[in-house]
Amino acid sequence: VTEPDLVGRHVVVTAGGTREPLDPVRFLGNRSSGKQGYALARTAAARGARVTLIEGNTGLPDPAGVDVVRIGTAVQLREAVLKAAPDADVVVMAAAVADFRPETYATGKIKKRDGQEPEPIVLVRNPDILAEISADRSRPGQMIVGFAAETDDVLANGRAKLARKGCDLLVVNEVGERKTFGSEENEAVVLGADGSETPVPYGPKEALAETVWDLVVSRLG
Ligand code: PMT
């Protein structure tokens, strides 16, 4: 039985991956399908929250009863999050955000020319949205939840990331070409800024989402 324990709350969830364009044809992207973020949005709505889902490049159908905002790049994601966050009780950053983007955008398709070496792609840093909203705290009592997608030293990297980003909860999950990305299941440890560690065994992404909301509800004033 789903408890309506998020009634009266506005939650913002980001899902999917950013795409950083190189030219009209190509982009730098990542393997996020959006399934984990959509599971968070669906379960929050089922628990009674008003949900704003900011999605990047997932192609997934809009969940019922959820406001969906579409973005392409990390800079667009930042704009959408900063617009929605001041009114949110909870922000969950499940989107996979590119840390870097190409410095220049070629307005025409980049061509290969006979006998010419390929041009290197120069990257510049993208803004760190999670760190920014965690430092801002645009609303008193607001809870901010981040994710950490790691391939090595998963927990150690997760703990360092929690300290660096300054969020309240960090969901640490292992990723790989065929691990977590795109699958229906996930497995994670949710780290709290209060030192708590909640392991979530391998199971449906909905189950991890429900645990995240349980932890959020127990901490909301
Ligand atoms: O979409 P699925 O296929 O279901 O896969 C789910 C998932 C693996 C994408 C998801 O569970 C997940 O781990 N999402 C976070 C991916 C990510 O960007 O992790 P990160 O460790 O690089 O970033 C840490 C946190 O900072 C994340 O909350 C991210 O949203 C945020 N971030 C990162 C970079 C940046 N420039 N700004 C950010 O806000």
Is pLDDT above 80 for 2?
yes
With respect to residue 113, please indicate whether it lies within any of the assigned structural domains: no
Residue 30 annotated to the active site:
yes
Average pLDDT of the residues of the chain: 97
Token pair of 114 as six digits: 């006979």
For residues 149-170, give the mean pLDDT: 97
Q: How far apart are CA 219 and CA 221, in angstroms?
A: 6
Q: Which of 189, 218, 216, 154 is nearest to 12 (CA)?
A: 216
Angle at 70 between CA 98 and CA 185, to 5 degrees: 65
Give the count of domains, the chain: 1
- Distance from the CA of 17 to the center of ligand 1, in angstroms? 8
With respect to residue 27, please indicate whether it lies within any of the assigned structural domains: yes
Domain that holds residue 32: 10-104+121-219
Hey, whose CA ends up nearest to atom 36 of ligand 1?
Answer: 128
| Beta carbon of 57 within 6 Å of any ligand 1 atom | no
| Beta carbon of 208 within 6 Å of any ligand 1 atom | no
**ipTM rounded to 2 decimals:** 0.99
Q: How far apart are CA 63 and CA 54, in angstroms?
A: 12
**CATH code at position 163:** 3.40.50.10300
Whether this prediction's pTM lies above 0.90 is answered by yes
- Distance from the CA of 32 to the center of ligand 1, in angstroms? 9
Is pLDDT above 90 for 70?
yes
With respect to residue 60, please indicate whether it lies within any of the assigned structural domains: yes
With respect to residue 139, please indicate whether it lies within any of the assigned structural domains: yes
Position in ligand 1 atom list of the atom nearest CA 30: 9
**Does the CA dihedral 185-189-190-196 come out positive or negative?**
positive
Indicate the angle between helix axes 35-46 and 205-219, nearest 10 degrees.
50
**Residue 129, annotated ligand binder?**
yes
Interval 84-114: pLDDT, tens: 999 999 999 999 999 999 999 999 999 988 9
Interval 195-220: pLDDT, tens: 999 999 999 999 999 999 999 999 99
With respect to residue 160, please indicate whether it lies within any of the assigned structural domains: yes
Q: Tell me which of 97, 169, 180 to substitute to probe ligand 1's pocket, judged by most ligand atoms within 8 Å of the beta carbon.
A: 97
